[in-house]
Structure 1
Amino acid sequence: MKQEVRKVVARRESAPRSERYPDYQDVPRVMTVLVRDQATGEYNEPHVHRHGQLLYASNGVMRVATERGLWILPPKRALWIPPGMIHDQLMLSAVKMRSIYIEPQVCAGLGDHCKVLEIPGLLRELILALADQPIEYPQEGRNAHIVALILSELQAARTLPIEVPWPVDRRLVTVCEAILQDPGQDHSIGYWADRVGASSRTLIRLFVNETGLNFRHWLQQVRLATAIDRLDKGQSVGVIARDLGYASQSAFSAMFRRVMGESPREFLVRD
């Protein structure tokens, strides 16, 4: 009898960890971590969670979109997604995803809108430590401290202003998708208006009404998000500035400092 019990336990412990969210949504824990590896180009169709979600990849880069925003997430960043927010994901490289799901009554203090958070070394190690535990991990002792520390670190995490607001109007979507494919192009609003069969005045109005930003400010957000991704990949500031259409490295650095509060090099050193 004891031998049979040991065999059952052994089989249970060796069973692969589920990669399906439905297997996590009713787990009686304040916080759980989904562990899943995905290949370049894999796409997770629009979906929604009853939990709050910290969407994080310990390796790789993904693009996340909601109906009204878009974010590019390299490994040192995570996206906070409040409960009930429809979103999708596109893997821009091979990704080791470590998504944290948090019960709604516990995560209210993290906000009701999506935002990009920095993941410093301590928070990263805490996430990976919880990911090493079973889905229904023991709640006392070390694990209780890990969960409490993750919540505390999330509250203190730095928010990065790298959201790219996304429009609904089909003409503006066409323009935004084209720019996203090549952020370094420097066409005027008149050029894009001709491309989509609208007047410049109409396109100017649509940008402000649908994204909350004027055309140049929206373009800057795309370039900033792209730049942070490339800095994380080790590309030089000079190459990034050139590829993103800036007249000089100093012009790019000035924009970066104005928005982020520090130069690209300072950002990398602190990171």
Structure 2
Amino acid sequence: MTVAVENLTDRSGEVSRIHDVPFREHLPQPLYFRSAQMPKNAIYPRHSHPWGELVYSYSGVMEINLKDGHFLAPPQYAVWLPPDVEHQGLNRQAAVHCSLYVSLDLCGPLPQRTTALEVNPMLRTMLEYLREKEGTCPSNPAHLRFLQVVVDQFAEGQQVGSFLPSTTDPILGKVLQHLQDNPHDNRSLAELARLHDTSERTLIRRCKRDLGIPFAEWKQRLRVLKAMPMLEAGGSVQSIADQLGYGSASSFIAMFGRMIGKTPDGYRKSVLK
């Protein structure tokens, strides 16, 4: 197992550091579940391990950095990390997440590459149950059988890549970072292209090549991710709509519902219950 310790610092200079990961060389069981409540700006060391890991966020958004990619896990998705994949977990806002560790010999049915997996309502209920029962019977045969059913359900789930794809392209990257910093910006793609000394056609081509989704959808997904922690913190729908550049609360509610399948208040209730 490889481990390196890093810091995550926000613009105010606030730092939170996690010094270690739960296991270094061996899992206590072939399947092992744990959950954690993470403060704002928490970060795990960059590390790898010889077992697979399913990462799921009950609230907030977990980010997973790889050497060659970046994944985000809002509560509608889990991220699957195959054995020996070097990764780093972090969250920029407070989050509650869990990991289900899967020994190498049980990883066969799961994807061979890192990917996001959809979490259907049944799986979410199962993960909530595991969180409630955590620590009561980790080696109980019935508990291990339940964990195997959870793994089987993930193995049959739909692979969705990353909820918010990223790019290493310097031109497109500048535009996406600008929107990360200014999610309320309603300028068109052509206007953003001029702002960053490129052409709309170039950005369209690179969105298709690197993101796999249209620019407008990427921007909507970004706004969903920005809205989630504000909803969880108790912000009003109108205030959040204003901060994200929507002319009305109704247009924000409609977009959120299309992307997540729930209204903003419905999402808030589901993660805070």
Counterpart secondary structure, 2:78: strand
Q: Cα distance 1:48–1:79, how it changes in 2: closer, same or farther (>3 A)?
A: farther
Counterpart secondary structure, 1:20: coil
Match of 1:120 among 99, 118, 124: 124
Cα offset, 1:105, TM superposition: 4.0
The aligned counterpart of 1:176 is: 176
Distance in 2 separating the partners of 1:255 and 1:220 = 7
Within 5 A, what are the aligned runs for 1:238-253?
238-253=238-253
Higher share in helix = 1
Counterpart secondary structure, 2:44: strand
Q: Cα distance 1:95–1:250, how it changes in 2: closer, same or farther (>3 A)?
A: closer
The amino acid across from 1:55 in the alignment is V
Q: Cα distance 1:191–1:88, how it changes in 2: closer, same or farther (>3 A)?
A: farther
The amino acid across from 1:238 in the alignment is Q
Does structure 2 conserve the Cα–Cα contact (< 8 Å) formed by 1:62 and 1:89? yes
Counterpart secondary structure, 2:186: coil
Cα offset, 1:249, TM superposition: 1.6
Does structure 1 conserve the Cα–Cα contact (< 8 Å) formed by 2:71 and 2:163? yes
Does structure 1 conserve the Cα–Cα contact (< 8 Å) formed by 2:21 and 2:45? no
The amino acid across from 1:129 in the alignment is K
Does structure 2 conserve the Cα–Cα contact (< 8 Å) formed by 1:256 and 1:264? yes
Counterpart secondary structure, 2:185: coil
Cα offset, 1:32, TM superposition: 2.0
Within 5 A, what are the aligned runs for 1:165-204?
165-204=165-204
Distance in 1 separating the partners of 2:224 and 2:159 = 14
Distance in 2 separating the partners of 1:106 and 1:78 = 21
Cα offset, 1:254, TM superposition: 2.0
Distance in 1 separating the partners of 2:268 and 2:134 = 27
The amino acid across from 1:90 in the alignment is L
The aligned counterpart of 1:9 is: none
The amino acid across from 1:123 in the alignment is L
The aligned counterpart of 1:91 is: 91
The aligned counterpart of 2:79 is: 80
Q: Cα distance 1:192–1:157, how it changes in 2: closer, same or farther (>3 A)?
A: same
Within 5 A, what are the aligned runs for 1:211-230?
211-230=211-230
Counterpart secondary structure, 2:72: strand
Distance in 2 separating the partners of 1:174 and 1:156 = 37
Does structure 2 conserve the Cα–Cα contact (< 8 Å) formed by 1:117 and 1:159? no
Q: Cα distance 1:232–1:121, how it changes in 2: closer, same or farther (>3 A)?
A: farther
The aligned counterpart of 1:129 is: 133
Distance in 1 separating the partners of 2:253 and 2:128 = 28
Per the normalisation by structure 1, the TM-score is 0.71
Q: Cα distance 1:183–1:172, how it changes in 2: closer, same or farther (>3 A)?
A: same
| Structure 2 residue 103 is the aligned partner of structure 1 residue 103 | yes
Compute the RMSD of aligned alpha carbons: 3.6
| Structure 2 residue 147 is the aligned partner of structure 1 residue 143 | no
Does structure 1 conserve the Cα–Cα contact (< 8 Å) formed by 2:35 and 2:98? yes
Who wins on radius of gyration, i.e. which is larger? 1
Cα offset, 1:46, TM superposition: 4.4
Distance in 1 separating the partners of 2:264 and 2:162 = 14
Counterpart secondary structure, 1:114: strand
Cα offset, 1:21, TM superposition: 4.8
Does structure 2 conserve the Cα–Cα contact (< 8 Å) formed by 1:31 and 1:147? yes
Distance in 2 separating the partners of 1:179 and 1:114 = 23
Cα offset, 1:88, TM superposition: 2.7
Q: Cα distance 1:224–1:160, how it changes in 2: closer, same or farther (>3 A)?
A: farther
The amino acid across from 2:127 in the alignment is L
Identity of aligned residues (%): 23
Does structure 1 conserve the Cα–Cα contact (< 8 Å) formed by 2:117 and 2:158? no
